[in-house]
Every structure is written in structure tokens, then in C-alpha cells.
Amino acid sequence: MEMLSRMLPGARLTFFLNEAEQTRQETKEKLHKEHPEMNERELNLKMLEMLTGDKIPEKAWELVRKK
């Protein structure tokens, strides 16, 4: 925390954005291992569902499956 407090605001933002991207990639890889049958689009919807806990991704999921 001390290191972060000494960083310039832009560097701190970059650090957190990089951490968020790394977490997103790791989550996507884990989902891909759990659901190898899903394509990229389906994985993105699954991640959205995980993050929001909302029913909107389920509705979008049905639209994707119909295609």
C-alpha cells in the first residue's frame, strides 16, 4: 500500500487497470477449461453473468444459442 501511495495518479491507474485485465484473463481461462464447448462469445456472456449476477446475460445467452 505504501508503494501505491507514492505512485503518481496515472501510474496508479495503470497499475490497477493491468491488474483488472490480468484477473479478467485468468477468469476467462478458467471458464474455458470448465466449459470447453463454449465459443468466445459464450464465454464473454458467462463472464458477464458471473460479474453482474443479472438475468440480462441469460436473455442474451438464449439469443446466442439460437444463432
Q: What is the domain partition of the chain in residue ranges? A: 2-66
pLDDT value at position 34?
93
At 15 the pLDDT is: 92
Buried b (16+ CB within 10 A) or exposed e, 13-47: eeeeeeeeeeeeeeeeeebeeeeeeeeeebbbbbb
- Over residues 3-60, the pLDDT tens digits come to 878 888 899 999 999 999 999 899 899 999 999 999 998 888 888 888 777 766 666 6
pLDDT of residue 3: 83
Residue-wise pLDDT for 16-32, tens only, equals 999 999 998 998 999 99
pLDDT at 45: 83
Cβ-proximal residues to 37 (8 Å cutoff; 6+ apart), any chain: none
Q: Measured between alpha carbons, how far is 42 from 61 in angstroms, rounded to an integer?
A: 7
